[in-house]
Amino acid sequence: MSHQALWSGRFKEPLSAIALSFSSSIDLDKQLYQEDIAGSIAHVEMLSATRILTAAEGRRIRTALKVIQKEIETGKLKLGDEYEDVHLAIEQRLIQKVGAIGGKLHTGRSRNDQVALDERLYLRTAVKEIGKLLAQLQRVLLYKAEKHFGALMPGYTHLQRAQPIMVSHHLLAYISMLERDYDRLNDCLKRMNKSPLGAAALAGTSFPIDRHKVARKLHFDGIVENSIDAVSDRDYLIEFVSACSLIMMHLSRLAEEMVLWSSKEFGFVQISDAYTTGSSIMPQKKNPDMAELVRGKTGRVYGALVNLLTILKALPLAYNRDMQEDKMPMFDVVSTTRQCLFIVSHILIHTKFDRQRMEEELRNDFLTATEIADYLVRKGVPFRDAHAITGKIVSHCIDHRMYLGNLDIETLHTFSREFDPDIFDYMLPHKSVEQKQSAGSTSPNEVKKQIVHWTRVLKGRRAL
Ligand code: ARG
């Protein structure tokens, strides 16, 4: 059953059922009911404080709004698709409850500033929750980095074995990535946390409203000054979604490494049974589906970013109904990012690292070839010559189906007279790691410093 729309005065015909069903957004925006009611309460309190409404009118509306919130929460008021959107549904219910006075709530306000307010409130909460989930994942990574301190693994470039690194160092790289995500979210919060309410449709209002008072009541840092900008702007949402896209990109890389590392080919980790699935046909299979889904869901978030940028592209000022289409990507990004951060923390905590296997792989290869070149450099050989000599040694090993560890000093002397028996020390993976001197490197000292740093940073941060 359709209600008579609150805006129907100038219309001779009601909105067709087809048009209503096409244009209604309530199915999605009903998720904003708390924000909508909080915004309305702040607005009505300001209306009575500025004597635009009487104190008694303000109180009645405020009380009724709180009852409506309960009605929604208990399921007594169904936000069904006979309404155009959550804003009209709540206002309609208010008028039903308190009569014509309810119609005074919308004084000096429009749905255009109302919806922008609701979104900013909703996203502000989302930023805080995602911030906590980021901190939670950083803590899991830190825990694993501490636990496996001392363990070595092959580091890769081009997905080819490059140099030995500390497992902790690799995990700490993700903590740094997630920290930038955290900073980005907090940075976009600065611009998001401004109140658009009181911009009304676009031009402001002739009532002596106090926009700053509403902003303070809702804990905003101020107001969006220009009323036209206040109702046209969706930058805060696009910035948020772009920050989430980077989070998802980082998670997809971690998820991909989980997929690769848990394969037989790598065998570096074992994800617990509880976070993997079997095959309906191949009895031996144990698939890393959760990690794969994180990788896959990244596409949804990127899609949402492009979706939003495209909705806003070339849109004339100020409000246009196109903007209603921002709801689907907004809600989807918030829930997808939250779910993925949450599951990745769980996958990781339930993953065992096979230290022995990782270190085995270090021995049977050429990962310390750079150390041989550096050794020669320290003996005065120019780096380019040292690189060429070492390349020849590697090529020799490949031809003779052997690794660096199988070489003897006589053979090495055929490549350079600079080699002394201590060269064999330098070829040891743990020696290679310990040799590193530069800041932020994979040496145990530098890695330890990072662990200490992140322990301090994360200590003061709220996680879930
Ligand atoms: N449901 C609309 C949206 O989400 C609310 C604003 C509608 N304003 C209007 N003038 N039709 O964008």
CATH class of 361-446: mainly alpha
Beta carbons of 70 and 126 less than 8 angstroms apart: no
- Where exactly are the structural domains of the chain? 8-107, 119-200+228-355, 361-446
Mutation probe of ligand 1 site: the residue of 85, 118, 119 with most atoms within 8 A of C-beta: 85
Binned at pLDDT 50, 70 and 90, residue 284 comes out as: confident
What superfamily in CATH does domain 8-107 come from? Fumarase/aspartase (N-terminal domain) (1.10.275.10)
CA neighbor of 252 nearest in space, from 300, 182, 306, 183: 300
Beta carbons of 390 and 369 less than 8 angstroms apart: yes
pLDDT > 60? residue 109: yes
Binned at pLDDT 50, 70 and 90, residue 1 comes out as: very low
Q: Ligand 1: which residue has its CA nearest to atom 2?
A: 324
Q: What is the 3-state secondary structure (H, E, C) of the chain?
A: CCCCCCCHHHCCCCCCHHHHHHHCCHHHHHHHHHHHHHHHHHHHHHHHHCCCCCHHHHHHHHHHHHHHHHHHHHCCCCCCCCCCCHHHHHHHHHHHHHHHHHHHCCCCCCHHHHHHHHHHHHHHHHHHHHHHHHHHHHHHHHHHHHHCCCCEEEEEECCEEEEEEEHHHHHHHHHHHHHHHHHHHHHHHHHHCCECCCCCCCCCCCCCCCHHHHHHHCCCCCECCCHHHHHHCCHHHHHHHHHHHHHHHHHHHHHHHHHHHCCCCCCCEEECHHHCECCCCCCCCCECHHHHHHHHHHHHHHHHHHHHHHHHCCCCCCCCHHHHHHHHHHHHHHHHHHHHHHHHHHHHHCEEECHHHHHHHHHCCCCCHHHHHHHHHHCCCCHHHHHHHHHHHHHHHHHCCCCHHHCCHHHHHHHCCCCCCCHHHHCCHHHHHHHCCCCCCCCHHHHHHHHHHHHHHHHCCCCC
111 CB within 6 A, ligand 1: yes
Percent with pLDDT over 70 in the chain: 99
234 CB within 6 A, ligand 1: no
Closest atom of ligand 1 relative to the 327 alpha carbon: 4
321 CB within 6 A, ligand 1: yes
Instruction: Based on the residue annotation, tell me whether 272 is a catalytic residue of this protein.
Output: no
Mean pLDDT for 185-196 is: 97
- Name the CATH architecture for the domain at 119-200+228-355: Up-down Bundle (1.20)
Binned at pLDDT 50, 70 and 90, residue 3 comes out as: low
Q: Among 194-203, 270-279, 352-361, name the most confident range.
A: 194-203
* Predicted local confidence at residue 463, as pLDDT: 63
Q: Output the pTM of the full model.
A: 0.94
